[in-house]
Structure 1
Amino acid sequence: MIIDKYITLKPIAILSAIGMLVLSCGKQVSGASEANPWKKMELIVKSIPETQFLNKNYNIKDYGAIADGKTLNTAAFAKAIKACAENGGGKVIVPDGKFLTGPIHLESNVNLHLADKAEILFSTDSKLYPLVHTSFEGTEVMNYSPLIYAKNKTNVAITGKGILNGQANKENWWPWCGSKNYGWEKGNPSQMDKLNRDRLVEMGEIGTPVVERVFGEGHYLRPNFVEFFECNTVLIKEVTIINAPFWVLHPIKSNNVIVDGVTVNSHGPNNDGCDPEYSQNVIIKNCTFNTGDDCIAIKSGRDADGRRVGIPSKNIIVQNCKMIDGHGGVVMGSEISAGVNNVFVENCVMDSPNLDRAIRIKTNSKRGGTTEDIYVRNLKVGTVKECVLKLNMFYDVYGAQAGNFIPTIRNVYLENITVQNGGKFGVLALGYKESPITNITLKNVVIQKVDSVYSLKNVKDIKFINTYINDKKIESIQN
């Protein structure tokens, strides 16, 4: 049967571990990976090429950079990157010290490398950021350059143990979101003014050519921090990123991306930690996310603009990460119109009273799209505020999010999960009658404490295998 009304089971306490998710993994995989999707993940990992650079160094101080935290070094960064690229590539070295700059635009075969005590301070003067082809909340646009930007580049990296500091706060960048929580005051302009964010969304809906979606100065759409746009073979390793204006790491339309050992600590509005969008073959590993929004949010475009681009995000792997504050640990959506599939999450720790959910899919009938084949295993969850697993086809943050594109969510597997405090629900799943959420499996899951076992609407085939919630073994709900 299809569950077509809310069902809420009251307390029963304790969640413990294990896992092995089994589901058909697509027509293009081998028999072995069809039987065990984690074999497919291993094949994806092996297929992703790693960056390689010439053993040549280009120190930005040799190109005029001054480490006083006050002198603008935009030209010095540009000169060092140009020299490196023109000579076949290598490392552009940012030595110890504080370097103020405007946007940094990377080239192919360039590794921007920060020394251990290096800090790049990005100017908060919006006039320094030229218009480039980028995106804002899943809609492509000509807007302020991201703070670090690479477009159509191959073999490019940001590495080292230094700090990237966007200098955003309640006086710079953040007030543009239009929320008093982040410094906006009534009467001041923001992205919420009708000619700003809403106008861009409308342009995406009616198919205005991207080159005619000209925003930037006077429109208050904050720039992304690090964006790799249509790039191939990318590495971001070990850096610490703080005080972001908007989304932090944003690979868009990119392939073969590795994010390794990065620390994101930024609690501003829309400060998602990492947002792979229209991207494929992405590994996010050994990272720490402490954010003002989703820790990791896998995306594929907003509404009509996402359907226009039509590139699903797939083969996304998250390993050995720590999620602290955030709206969700690993999230798919809400800008998800081109679909998401083949997501693998393993060996992560999620724990904070300010972490709302562990695993989340958020979409609605304006987004549409198919989200499928999501595999999660070996999670240790301490405390989450709302629920362990949330699947929502009625996500509505700005209002007026109902349309004619009913989404699909299917094939979600959780195994070997232990949770101390799951918040309000173990599973919260809300589907459409005409498009029920299908094939959800929890195996070897132990939730020690949660207010309600689950709340389900229009869900078909939810299996609980060796799963204990509030000290009670939970039985599957069969067709």
Structure 2
Amino acid sequence: MKHISACSCHSKIALACIFLFSAASAMAQQKVNLPIIQQVNFKKDTTSIASFGAKGDGVTLNTQSINKTIASVSQKGGGVVLIPSGLWLTGPIELKSNVNLHLKRDAIVQFTDDFNQYKLVEGNWEGQPAWRNQSPISGVNLENIAITGSGIIDGNGGAWRMVKKDKLTETQWKKLISSGGVVSEDGKMWYPSEKTVKGSKTKNAGVIVAGKTAADYEDIKDFLRPNLLVLTNCKKILLEGVTFQNSPAWNLHPLLCEDLTLRNLQVKNPWFAQNGDGVDVESCKNVLIEGSTFDVGDDGICIKSGRDEAGRKRGVPTENVIIRNNVVYHAHGGFVIGSEMSGGAKNIWVYDCSFIGTDIGLRFKTTRGRGGVVENIFVDNINMIDIPGEAILFDMYYAAVDPVPLAGEKREAIKTVTVPVTAATPQFKNFYIKNVVANGAEKAIFFRGLPEMNIKDIHLENVTIQSKKGIEIIEASGIFLKNVNVITNDTNPVVHVQNGTNININGLQYKNGAELLFDITGEKTKGVNVTGTDVSKAKKASAISQEVNKTALQISK
């Protein structure tokens, strides 16, 4: 048998280096050592799944053969489990410690659409403990594991997912409903089965309740879609080179893991795939995501740490993360934090990435009830084109809807009220975003904090964005914009500030002949300081609402 070992598996890669950021605050420049991510290491012994009776004929169900191969190799001290050329139909695969599951280039692993092969297990969904169908690939409490090679892993997600009519062409919709399933009463949604329909109408479907067993959820089982790959409480993980696609729900979900490397992956879902995230890194420590491409139906690269009280009780942040040299095509957001970030997120570096056609570029979202602190986020050298929403967004009123409304969709305006600060109040602070270029966006920059908890200490430097609309800053404090160039179609206004304090704008550039440069509203607004900006290019430099103190805006050379 030929010996196969994964690239980059035999040494620890020291990733510590110097990363520089400047900001218009007391911290003008800081040097940060990037975290070191420990790497996997395997025995070279290789065992093919064919030696345990697997057949790559697209018909044979190979669940037992694949799992027996993995278990056998692990029991013997580890090594490589080879998926050779072929179309390998299977049910759930359970990984084991010290095993590298290696796919040949012309190997396709496709998971069966027979839902009976997936038992209900106690898992996690959107940051809360929940019953879910067993994931196609899973591992719990493992160490030194990998999936490598250049083959394809297909989750057969079309069998599981509901689909909105508005996201398909008329021809696609007719083909879908002719395949079977159930159409909603209003004709706007397709469901794979009656169980899926019932689950969609069940409040907190799947949430674990004391005294209930898996049998109590059987009538909504089809609705409890699994994530394609879930690794829980595992250490030293490598996913490299493989294509992960067509997931029932999220594609890749590492939870409570440490020393995780994702390298040179292709992660794909149809653009209409509901909850079809690329990767959701939840409550993990020491993570590297590099050289990968995402083209999915929901958020592309997403950081999470649990939801609401359950996430705060867990209390494990996602921290020490490096995300570099990645490309994200269709997604709700290119790089995203939230909205389930109740355990916090900190010490995250994102650089040298491109977002092409993502609904939002840099997307930071949360809402009341989450709690958690997101801080020390460093972003450098990001390029974007064709962004239908905001290029850069901070929003503390996330409402679990698509970021860009569908045609004809109406949404109610946010009603602003102030509530007491509690453990359930989320926080965004200490972000450093530098060297961003975006060609084409609906809005350049959007900040919307809570009145009781503003977005704080956000530094943007050397940013150029071509967009329809400019900059909007609501309920934010300690905002530093240095050398920001917004080339907008709608120049009335270029910058809107509402209830903002300590807003510092240095070297703002904008379209010559702008109707209004600064629109200042909100009785709490104060300390809007503008320097190094030629306001004479605008037809009107500023408009200050009656409730605002007239000294709130200060413009100097």
- Counterpart CA distance in 1 for 2:211 and 2:343 is 18
TM-score by length of 2: 0.73
- Counterpart CA distance in 2 for 1:212 and 1:305 is 21
- Counterpart CA distance in 2 for 1:216 and 1:141 is 14
Amino acid of the residue matched to residue 451 of structure 2? K
Amino acid of the residue matched to residue 102 of structure 1? G
Match among 415, 436, 448 for residue 417 of structure 1: 436
Alignment deviations for residues 243-293 of structure 1 (CA, whole Å, 9 cap, x no partner) = 110100100011110000000111211111000011111111000000000
| 1:177-188 aligned within 5 A | 181=167, 185-186=183-184, 188=194
Amino acid of the residue matched to residue 467 of structure 1? V
What is the deviation of 1:143? 2.2
| 1:402-441 aligned within 5 A | 405-421=424-440, 423-441=441-459
| 1:47-446 aligned within 5 A | 47-169=36-158, 172-175=159-162, 181=167, 185-186=183-184, 188-190=194-196, 193=199, 196=202, 198-201=204-207, 208=210, 215=217, 218-219=220-221, 220-267=223-270, 268-352=273-357, 355-397=358-400, 405-421=424-440, 423-446=441-464
What is the deviation of 1:221? 1.1
The verdict on how the C-alpha distance between 1:213 and 1:407 changes in structure 2, with shifts beyond 3 A counting, is farther
What is the deviation of 1:434? 1.6
SS at match of 2:311: helix
Amino acid of the residue matched to residue 145 of structure 2? V
Alignment deviations for residues 371-428 of structure 1 (CA, whole Å, 9 cap, x no partner) = 111111011112211111111111012799999622111111111111111x222111
Asked if structure 1 preserves the Cα contact closer than 8 Å seen for 2:368 and 2:426, the reply is yes
The verdict on how the C-alpha distance between 1:122 and 1:216 changes in structure 2, with shifts beyond 3 A counting, is farther
Asked if structure 1 preserves the Cα contact closer than 8 Å seen for 2:199 and 2:220, the reply is no
The verdict on how the C-alpha distance between 1:438 and 1:191 changes in structure 2, with shifts beyond 3 A counting, is farther
SS at match of 1:307: helix
What is the aligned partner in structure 2 of residue 4 from structure 1?
none
Bigger radius of gyration among the two: 2
SS at match of 1:61: helix
TM-score by length of 1: 0.85
- Counterpart CA distance in 2 for 1:315 and 1:192 is 41
SS at match of 1:441: strand
Asked if structure 2 preserves the Cα contact closer than 8 Å seen for 1:348 and 1:378, the reply is yes
Amino acid of the residue matched to residue 279 of structure 1? C
Alignment: residue pair count: 436
What is the aligned partner in structure 2 of residue 29 from structure 1?
none
What is the deviation of 1:118? 0.5
Amino acid of the residue matched to residue 36 of structure 1? Q
Asked if structure 2 preserves the Cα contact closer than 8 Å seen for 1:197 and 1:221, the reply is no
What is the aligned partner in structure 1 of residue 468 from structure 2?
451
- Counterpart CA distance in 2 for 1:143 and 1:113 is 27
SS at match of 1:275: strand
Q: 1 or 2, which has the higher strand percentage?
A: 2
What is the deviation of 1:217? 6.4
- Counterpart CA distance in 2 for 1:84 and 1:20 is 45
- Counterpart CA distance in 2 for 1:142 and 1:213 is 11
What is the deviation of 1:163? 0.2
SS at match of 1:159: strand
Greater relative contact order (CA < 8 Å, ≥ 6 in sequence):
1
What is the deviation of 1:131? 3.0
Alignment deviations for residues 323-370 of structure 1 (CA, whole Å, 9 cap, x no partner) = 100000010111111111111100011112xx1111111110121211
SS at match of 2:330: coil
- Counterpart CA distance in 2 for 1:246 and 1:216 is 19
- Counterpart CA distance in 1 for 2:90 and 2:128 is 27
The verdict on how the C-alpha distance between 1:413 and 1:215 changes in structure 2, with shifts beyond 3 A counting, is farther
Alignment deviations for residues 79-114 of structure 1 (CA, whole Å, 9 cap, x no partner) = 110110011000000001100000000000000000
Mark the runs of 5 or more structure 1 residues left unpaired by the alignment.
1-18, 24-32
What is the deviation of 1:212? 8.1
Asked if structure 2 preserves the Cα contact closer than 8 Å seen for 1:178 and 1:190, the reply is no
- Counterpart CA distance in 2 for 1:215 and 1:153 is 28
Asked if structure 2 preserves the Cα contact closer than 8 Å seen for 1:191 and 1:221, the reply is no
What is the deviation of 1:130? 2.3
- Counterpart CA distance in 2 for 1:209 and 1:22 is 55
Corresponding position: 1:466 with 2:468: no
- Counterpart CA distance in 2 for 1:157 and 1:334 is 28
Amino acid of the residue matched to residue 475 of structure 2? N
The verdict on how the C-alpha distance between 1:83 and 1:341 changes in structure 2, with shifts beyond 3 A counting, is same
Root-mean-square deviation (CA), in Å? Answer: 2.8
Identity %: 31
SS at match of 2:376: strand
Corresponding position: 1:21 with 2:21: yes
SS at match of 2:281: coil
The verdict on how the C-alpha distance between 1:209 and 1:463 changes in structure 2, with shifts beyond 3 A counting, is farther
Alignment deviations for residues 12-64 of structure 1 (CA, whole Å, 9 cap, x no partner) = xxxxxxx94358xxxxxxxxx99635x322xx0xx211000001011000000
The verdict on how the C-alpha distance between 1:53 and 1:73 changes in structure 2, with shifts beyond 3 A counting, is same
